[in-house]
Structure 1
Amino acid sequence: MKTNSTTKPIWKRNLFVLSIAVFIAGIAFSEVMPFLPLYIGTLGNFSHQELNFWSGFIYSGTFFVSAIISPWWGKLADKKGRKLMILHASFGMAFVIGAMSLVTNVWQLFFLRMLQGVFAGFVSNANTLIATETPKHHAGQALGTMSSSVTAGTLLGPMLGGFLASVFSYRVTFFITGGLLLISFLLSLFFVHEDDFKPVTEKKLDKASGVIKSLRSPRLIFGLLLTTLIIQAANNSINPIVSLYVKQLMHNQGSVTFISGIIAALPGIATFLVASRLGLLGDKIGTHKIIIAGFLGATVLFLLTAFVQNAWQLGILRFSVGFTDACLFPQVQTLLSKNSPAEVTGRIFSWNQSAMYTGNIIGPLLGSTVSGFSSYSMVFIVTAGLVVINLLLFRINVIKNLK
């Protein structure tokens, strides 16, 4: 393992720099989420059902494009380098998100959200770089650190976004978000090094079939991809309706935007506190055990959330969900890293990113559809059902195929 002048391994230096970069990116990605439905409401006169539809539709736009294009970027990353993909993603999104401050109607916002999807993948490509350079026995802790960093940013982002939107405006907040992503770009450009990168040159790995043949257990890998998809669908079925649910619970009284930002941030607090520790624990006792615990906890918490009577009850349960979040997505990434050959890790992580974005598409549309035809409470009940299905599929496709 190469080291710098102070004998610190390069993978540790990259981990340090990228954990800061994804922290900043986490702020940028999350600070607009609490008020996105409210911003949409300023772009036209919409009924309750129309606002729910547009919130889910626009929220999903980025992920629709990303789900399609991510495998191509993953293939390019394995050939040209993961740092190049990190730079591409951060600079492109800095420009696009900044431009969202200038839209005058919902179709322009939808177009920019779609364009954002072309440049998506900063965090996932940063994770890929760390996964390929980190020794396997440190993978859980390293990826847990990355998850803690991005969720710490996700924690701060909604509160900062709610504050900025209240003090300035929605449009100014979009402009600031673009600036934050530009900072992540500069950090990655000047301080991240990929000296040990070995480009994939084997022709057989150019096609998905060749990648699949290189896997020890394809069913395990595709089982994990399906797990990611359903995790994201479950989590994101909630996101488009959180601020609207808070508005309903508060009877449209008080600072709905600010309270929505706090509640949206609460899961990130819990995830930040435990993700790295859970990664280390998973390295010792088995990552799959951590994931199963996360499924069980999430099921109970989502069911309880359907019956809250006020905003503080919602806040407590959303905070608790953060602990289960730390048991799920970062641990799935760890299993992917431990069970994928290094030469195709970029491709596998890009497939995982596509699965994640597909879940991000399905989730908001599911949440907005259920809330539009039933109620916000029913969204949480349906989400709990998704988690149970995910647990059953995980046991069938992953547990039985682990070493």
Structure 2
Amino acid sequence: MDSAPHSAGDNYWQRNLAICVFGSFATIFAMTLVLPFLPIYVEQLGVEGHAAVAQWSGIAYGANFLSAGLIAPLWGRLGDRFGYKPMLLRASLGMALLMPLMGLATDIWQFAGLRLLAGIAGGYASGAVILVAAQTPKARSGWALGLLASGVMAGNLLGPLIGGSLPPLIGLRPIFWAAGGLIFVAFVATLFFVREMPKTRPPLTEDQTSGWSQIPNKGIIMTMMWTGLLLMVANLSIEPIITVYVRSLVQNVGSGSVFGENTAHVTFLAGLVVSAAALGSILSASWLGKVADRLGHAKVITMALAMAGLLVIPQAFVTHGWQLIGLRFLMGLALGGLLPCVAAVIRHNVPQNLVGTVLGYSLSSQFAGQVLGPLMGGFVAGHIGTRAVFFGTAALLFLGAACNFKVLRASRHA
């Protein structure tokens, strides 16, 4: 399937991986630094009233994901055509310029517009996935993509933690400027240290433009896109209700517990719950990728989805915060290697000249999951009940495991 030689790339794919891990961590860390104080900044831009601040904060937060999801297939196709390194340079330089501009915004429309542009111009981590998937030897792709995923998740974990402590020290606007500087460091590292194999650029035919005609295992590709969307929905479905759910646990705990004094620890405990899943994923991503390289990526995906489904159900019945933290950590361990495995399966089942295009569509499905997950979780919790969110998420994970098992039985090429 993959006819492109890797002999030249074998000399520097590990260095490319190291720079991509650093660049992905730096860009994600910088972008998430602003999340803890986003509503405060929105208020400083002239938005008044609790409802308006919440609404504009959601718009500014979601604008980045919306535009990034819509543009990802285009960047993937251009990467196939002109090279993946130029896509990394475009993304990192674009974000390095836009982040300081966010710190100079004078009204909410400017800020929301710049967040939208950041999603269009950015996507370093997404581009890094495509470059690593395309240039890493197939036998090591699961491990390499898992290591890259660990860098991304570490940025997602540490960015908000550090960002929440910076405003009292340096103020809000300087954080945007510092974030832009950090992303520029990633741009410089990518410019001077990432090497890409020479890319042949034959004229695009109609078949190459459509892409699907060159893919023999279309069912596998569609299943992987569905799996990526499902994973993001499962991870984020609890996000809108986590604080409310944790508050109910804290209120039910006796005063002798470390969390039982009243609701003063709710936000802290909610942060631990979210961080526990991220930490589990960081620890397991590269290990699960290595296991998948030996056993088969589709097998690991199926088992991980089923295990995660089993771990979601008891989360609906916990009575103490530490129980929820432990279960979310275990769920993170189970799910940590899934996105790298999804990318590896796609990389193994599409021609080399379509890797970026197809992975771009896969990334779009994941961005869609990031939007749908919180929406679905909030809707179900509001109309049916909090526990129904966990049961619904478990059902989706079991359905995903069944679909992947069916594909595994139908084809052994993954």
Residue 224 of structure 1 aligns to a residue whose secondary structure is helix
1:371 to partner: Cα distance: 4.1
Give the residue type in structure 2 aligned to 1:45. G
Matches within 5 A, 1:135-146: 135-146=137-148
1:181 to partner: Cα distance: 2.1
Alpha-carbon separation, structure 2, partners of 1:105 and 1:398: 52
Which stretch of structure 1 is more off in the superposition, 392-401 or 153-162?
392-401
1:238 to partner: Cα distance: 3.0
Matches within 5 A, 1:25-174: 25-33=27-35, 36=38, 43-47=47-51, 57-102=59-104, 108-165=110-167, 167=169, 171-174=173-176
Against the structure 1 CA distance between its residues 16 and 167, is the aligned structure 2 distance closer, same or farther, given a 3 Å change threshold? same
2:21 is aligned, of 19, 22, 38, to 19
1:351 to partner: Cα distance: 0.9
- The answer as to whether partners of 1:166 and 1:257 remain within 8 angstroms in 2 is no
TM-score, length-scaled by structure 2:
0.83
Alpha-carbon separation, structure 2, partners of 1:241 and 1:14: 39
Residue 330 of structure 1 aligns to a residue whose secondary structure is helix
Q: Please tell me whether residue 280 in structure 1 is matched to residue 280 in structure 2.
A: no
Indicate the residue corresponding to 2:236 in structure 1. 236
Give the residue type in structure 1 aligned to 2:293. D
Matches within 5 A, 1:190-339: 190-208=192-210, 211-242=211-242, 246=246, 253-254=263-264, 260-339=270-349
Which stretch of structure 1 is more off in the superposition, 369-378 or 59-68?
369-378
Which stretch of structure 1 is more off in the superposition, 255-264 or 289-298?
255-264
Which stretch of structure 1 is more off in the superposition, 163-172 or 332-341?
163-172
Report Cα offsets for 1:142-188 as digits up to 9, x if no partner. Answer: 11221222223333223222333565555554443333322222211
Give the residue type in structure 2 aligned to 1:201. P
1:264 to partner: Cα distance: 2.9
Residue 229 of structure 2 aligns to a residue whose secondary structure is helix
Against the structure 1 CA distance between its residues 373 and 51, is the aligned structure 2 distance closer, same or farther, given a 3 Å change threshold? farther
Against the structure 1 CA distance between its residues 293 and 302, is the aligned structure 2 distance closer, same or farther, given a 3 Å change threshold? same
Residue 337 of structure 2 aligns to a residue whose secondary structure is helix
Indicate the residue corresponding to 2:376 in structure 1. 366
Against the structure 1 CA distance between its residues 19 and 26, is the aligned structure 2 distance closer, same or farther, given a 3 Å change threshold? same
Q: Please tell me whether residue 384 in structure 1 is matched to residue 387 in structure 2.
A: no
- The answer as to whether partners of 1:145 and 1:276 remain within 8 angstroms in 2 is yes
Residue 66 of structure 1 aligns to a residue whose secondary structure is helix
Alpha-carbon separation, structure 1, partners of 2:37 and 2:238: 14
Report Cα offsets for 1:194-237 as digits up to 9, x if no partner. Answer: 133333533235522xx111112112111211111221222222
Aligned length: 396
Give the residue type in structure 2 aligned to 1:238. I
What 5-or-longer segments of structure 2 have no aligned partner?
Answer: 1-5, 252-261
Report Cα offsets for 1:120-147 as digits up to 9, x if no partner. Answer: 3211211111111112112112112212
Against the structure 1 CA distance between its residues 222 and 123, is the aligned structure 2 distance closer, same or farther, given a 3 Å change threshold? same
- The answer as to whether partners of 1:163 and 1:258 remain within 8 angstroms in 2 is no
Alpha-carbon separation, structure 2, partners of 1:396 and 1:198: 37
Identity of aligned residues (%): 33
- The answer as to whether partners of 2:100 and 2:177 remain within 8 angstroms in 1 is yes
TM-score, length-scaled by structure 1:
0.85
Report Cα offsets for 1:285-325 as digits up to 9, x if no partner. Answer: 11112111221222233333334445433322222221122
Alpha-carbon separation, structure 2, partners of 1:400 and 1:155: 38
- The answer as to whether partners of 1:237 and 1:364 remain within 8 angstroms in 2 is yes
1:28 to partner: Cα distance: 2.6
Give the residue type in structure 2 aligned to 1:14. N
RMSD over aligned CA atoms reads: 3.1
Which stretch of structure 1 is more off in the superposition, 386-395 or 225-234?
386-395
Against the structure 1 CA distance between its residues 56 and 394, is the aligned structure 2 distance closer, same or farther, given a 3 Å change threshold? farther
Which stretch of structure 1 is more off in the superposition, 246-255 or 157-166?
246-255
Residue 195 of structure 1 aligns to a residue whose secondary structure is coil
Give the residue type in structure 2 aligned to 1:213. S
- The answer as to whether partners of 1:305 and 1:317 remain within 8 angstroms in 2 is yes
1:398 to partner: Cα distance: 5.5
Indicate the residue corresponding to 1:357 in structure 2. 367
Q: Based on CA coordinates, which of the two structures has the bigger radius of gyration?
A: 2
Indicate the residue corresponding to 2:254 in structure 1. none
Alpha-carbon separation, structure 2, partners of 1:29 and 1:399: 41
Alpha-carbon separation, structure 2, partners of 1:293 and 1:373: 32
- The answer as to whether partners of 1:91 and 1:185 remain within 8 angstroms in 2 is yes
Against the structure 1 CA distance between its residues 160 and 391, is the aligned structure 2 distance closer, same or farther, given a 3 Å change threshold? same
Which stretch of structure 1 is more off in the superposition, 318-327 or 340-349?
318-327
- The answer as to whether partners of 1:34 and 1:257 remain within 8 angstroms in 2 is no
